Amino acid sequence: MGTNNSTGWEWNLTWRRDLFESELLLADTFIGDLAQQQVQPHREDKWIWKHDHSGHYSSKSGYDLIWRELRGSIQNSDFVDLWKLKIPAKSAIFAWRLIKDRLPTKMNLISRQVVVNDRLCPFCGLKDEEVEHLFFNCTCTLPLWWDSISWANLTTALPINPRDHFLQHTLGAVGVRNHTRWKCWWVALT
């Protein structure tokens, strides 16, 4: 990937395929990062975990890093409630990814240049598979929401946007206990 010549280390990067447009900026940033590093040809390569003073990885420091990043990316304080629910962490993380549209739906995969043969919803086959449709607007999933509203004896709108859908249960329409119950159901249903 590079050679050491009389002027110092020189990178010689080649790519296995042409880069997609969305990857050009990443590659440029990567090359910029490399340029800031000084290669020392006479020292042996070694791995260093930057998130611990010792330089060694531990599952605790990995766990702390993931949670710090997850929490840091929640700009809207309303979503802090999501982490307070007494539900399995994997369910909260799934709901958070749904709200932030980070699930690997077919449309999200396509936007990342993944080749997908069929972009349609697997339930109805009529609309593109994206979170708004799949979880909140498909003719196959909508009845679940109607039933859940009926069980909770509530009258409410069903926003298609996941964020609005979740946040409506934090508004003051029902009691605090009901809020928590609602949000648990919301996560369970999704």
**Hey, which residues between 60 and 89 contact Zn ion (CB under 5 A)?**
none
121 binds Zn ion per the rule CB under 5 A: yes
In this structure, the dihedral spanned by the alpha carbons of residues 182, 108, 72 and 168, taken in order and rounded to 10 degrees, is -20
Stretch of 28-36, 115-123, 156-164, 165-173 lying at the interface with Zn ion (CB under 5 A): 115-123
Q: Give the nearest distance from C-beta 3 to Zn ion in angstroms.
A: 55
Q: Which residues contact 89 (CB under 8 A, 6 or more apart)?
A: none
**Residue closer to Zn ion (CB basis): 140 or 154:** 140
The answer to whether 86 and 93 have CB atoms below 8 angstroms apart is no
Stretch of 23-31, 35-43, 78-86, 113-121 lying at the interface with Zn ion (CB under 5 A): 113-121
User: Which residue carries 């990342």 as its tokens?
Assistant: 112
34 binds Zn ion per the rule CB under 5 A: no
Which candidate, 107, 110, 83, places its Cα nearest to that of 95? Answer: 83
Residues that bind Zn ion (CB under 5 A): 121, 123-124, 138
